[in-house]
Amino acid sequence: MIYLDYSANTPADPAVLDALYQTERRYIGNPNSTHPAGRAAQAKMTRVTDGIAELLGVLPEEIIYTSGASESNNLALKGIVQASRHVGKHIISTALEHSSVGGALSALQQQGCEVDLVDIRRDGTIDLKHLRELLRRDTVLVAVCAVDSELGTVQPIREIADILKDYPNCRLHVDATQAVGKTKLVLDGVDTMSIAPHKFYGLNGSGLLVKKRDLVIEPQIHGGGSTTPYRSGTPALGMAVSVEKALRLALENQKERVAHVAALNRRLRTELAKYPAVRFNSPETAVPHILNLSVGGVKGTAFQQELGKYDVCVSVKSACSVEGTPSKAVYAVSRDRKNALSSWRISLSHLTTETEIAEFLQIFDRCYKELLP
C-alpha cells in the first residue's frame, strides 16, 4: 500500500504510544483526587502542561485539553461569540475552513449571528483589503485556518492580527490543525488556536485549544472538575503526555522533515506537469506536504477510485467534507466548478519514501492512460 493521505490522519509515533502506555501504568490516580495517587497524577499533569506551554511559547494556564480540533473549534467559536453577545453578533470567516468551523458558524447563525465570508485570492490567501471592508464595530470574531487542508495555503496570520488591532472587541481564532510541524506557528495577536495531535503523529481523541489568559469564553461542557474552568471532564493524563511527546517530536524535527517532504513535492510537480490534462491547484507557496491537483475531464472521485485499485490512498477534499460536491477551496482559487470536481489531494510525510513516489508515478501514468480518452 502507498499511503498519501497524511493530512487526514498520521500513524501514531511509537514514542508517543510508549509515553501513553508508561503513563497509564505508572499513574493510576485521578488528578482531581487528594490522596497520594491523585497528587502524583496532578503533579505529572502540571509538568506536562508546563512542557506543552514552553514548546508553544504560551502560559500553562492558556492550555485547554480537548478531544480534538473539532471540539476546540466549537469551543472557541461558540465560546467567544456567546461571551461577546453584548458587543455584537457579526463574524467573519472563509470558504476554506474545516466543517467543524462551518458547522459551528451555521449553529451560531441560527442563534441570530451574521456571518460574512472574506474573498479568497487566486493564490489561496484571503483578500486583506476585503477583510478590512467587512470589519465592523460589532464584529466579534474572525476565524481562519493557518494552513488550508485541501490546498496547503499558508494564511497571513500576522497581517490579519495587525489589522484587528484597530478592533479591540474582535477576537481572532486560528485553526492550526494542518500547520503544526509544517510551518512556523504564529501566536502573536491570536486569541485562540486549535491543535490536533493526530495530524502530527499523535493520537486520535486528543486535542488542544490555546486561549489567551485574559480572554473569557463560555464553556460548552458543564460540570466536573478539570484543569480549566472552560472545559469540564476528568483530566486525561495519559493523553496529555502523548500530546506533549508528539508536539515535541514535531517541532524539534520540523526542519529536517520539511526538507525531505519538499524534495518529494518538487519531484511530483516536475513529473506530473508533463501530463497535459494535469492542473495544480496548490500554489507554489503552499506547505510541501499538500499537493492538490486536477486531471481535466476526470472527476476526482473517479481518479481516486482508480488509484485505489492499485492500493494507493489519496483523498478528494478533506476527510470530513460532504461527498459528491465540488471542493470549496479549489473552486475559491480557480473559479471553475469542473476543475473543482476533478480535484484530489496528495499529502506527504517524512515517512513517505522516494521509492513510494516512484511507484506512485508509475501507477498514476497507468491510471491517466486508462481514464483519459
Give residue limits of the domains in the chain: 14-252, 254-371
Q: Give the global pTM.
A: 0.94
For residue 323, the model assigns a pLDDT of 56
Q: Give the CATH number of domain 254-371; options: 3.90.1150.10, 3.40.50.620, 3.40.50.360, 1.10.10.10.
A: 3.90.1150.10
313 catalytic per annotation: no
Q: Is it the case that residue 29 has pLDDT exceeding 80?
A: yes
pLDDT digits (tens, 9 = 90+) for 57-116: 999 999 999 999 999 999 999 999 999 999 999 999 999 999 999 999 999 999 999 999
Sequence-separated (6 or more) residues with CB below 8 Å from residue 176: 145, 146, 147, 185, 193, 194, 195
Q: How far apart are CA 312 and CA 303, in angstroms?
A: 11
Cell of 236: 486525561
Amino acid at 154: V
Closest of 146, 210, 208 to residue 179, by C-alpha: 146
Cell of 136: 465592523
Cell of 241: 503526555
- Could you tell me where the DSSP H helices lie in the chain? 14-26, 36-56, 69-83, 99-110, 128-134, 157-164, 237-252, 254-272, 300-308, 328-334, 337-341, 354-371
pLDDT digits (tens, 9 = 90+) for 298-338: 999 999 999 999 999 999 975 555 556 788 889 888 889 99
pLDDT digits (tens, 9 = 90+) for 227-236: 888 898 889 9
Q: How far apart are CA 211 and CA 300, in angstroms?
A: 38
Q: Which of 170, 313, 320, 367 is catalytic?
A: 320
Give Cα 245 distance to the centre of its chain: 18
pLDDT bracket for residue 163 (50, 70, 90): very high
Contact 176, 185 (CB under 8 A): yes
CATH topology of domain 14-252: Aspartate Aminotransferase; domain 2 (3.40.640)
Q: How far apart are CA 41 and CA 345, in angstroms?
A: 42
Q: Buried b / exposed e across 281-290, counting CB within 10 Å, b at 16+?
A: bbbeebbbbb
Contact 320, 98 (CB under 8 A): yes
pLDDT digits (tens, 9 = 90+) for 234-273: 899 999 999 999 999 999 999 999 999 999 999 999 999 9
Is 224 strand, coil or helix? coil
For residue 328, the model assigns a pLDDT of 84
Mean pLDDT of 277-286: 96
Closest of 246, 251, 280 to residue 266, by C-alpha: 280
